[in-house]
């Protein structure tokens, strides 16, 4: 009987160690790199200005679209805003802004103070729509083509290097 108890305790101990080993060797960071190359589907974002919706058909109208998730309360969004203003000058690229969990009056003031780089402006007041895009924090941006294929995903504020990468992609076609 003692041998059975020792065996059960040893087995349990080995089992617990195995679980810890697996947990420590598993990447727990949320990674959305797998989204690159896939297509967006069933897009339906509420317009910032009115009761209309922005859909997949609207995105197909431009060669490239950068979908930028932002908020007035987001400090890194302020940092990247200058880079978005630079990108807004490109003819081959439209920028869709998704205002994330923000108060409308604060978002309007943000755009009035810093400029509005967005060709289209939508809102996600509770953050449910952003999850469908693989967004887990802001700012984040997704570059797509007119087939709604995700070409690049940017986590965090867009840097000068990111801007140059976007420009290289949109100028090759």
Residue whose entry in the numeric block shows the structure tokens 């969004």: 77
Cα separation, 110 vs 171, whole angstroms:
30
H/E segment holding residue 151: strand 150-155
For the question of residue 112 being annotated catalytic, the response is no
For the question of residue 134 being annotated catalytic, the response is no
DSSP 62: S
State residue 10 phi and psi, 5-degree precision.
Answer: -65, -45
Burial of 148 (0-12, 13-18, 19+ CB in 10 A): middle
Tokens of 171: 């100028």
In the set 45, 77, 84, 163, the catalytic residue is 77
In the set 43, 45, 74, 163, the catalytic residue is 74
Which residues are identified as catalytic?
Answer: 74, 77
């Amino acid at each position: 009987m003692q041998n059975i108890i020792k065996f059960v305790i040893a087995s349990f101990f080995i089992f617990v160690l195995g679980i810890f080993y697996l947990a420590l060797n598993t990447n727990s960071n949320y990674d959305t790199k797998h989204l690159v190359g896939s297509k967006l589907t069933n897009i339906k974002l509420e317009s910032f200005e009115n009761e209309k919706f922005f859909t997949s058909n609207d995105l197909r109208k431009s060669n490239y679209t950068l979908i930028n998730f932002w908020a007035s309360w987001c400090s890194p969004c302020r940092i990247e805003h200058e880079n978005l203003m630079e990108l807004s000058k490109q003819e081959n690229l439209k920028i869709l802004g998704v205002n994330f969990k923000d108060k409308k009056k604060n978002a309007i003031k943000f755009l009035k103070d810093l400029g509005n780089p967005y060709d289209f402006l939508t809102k996600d007041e509770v953050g449910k729509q952003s999850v469908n895009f693989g967004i887990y924090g802001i700012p984040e941006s997704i570059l797509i083509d007119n087939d709604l294929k995700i070409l690049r995903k940017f986590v965090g504020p867009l840097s000068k290097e990111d801007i140059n990468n976007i420009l290289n992609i949109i100028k090759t076609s």
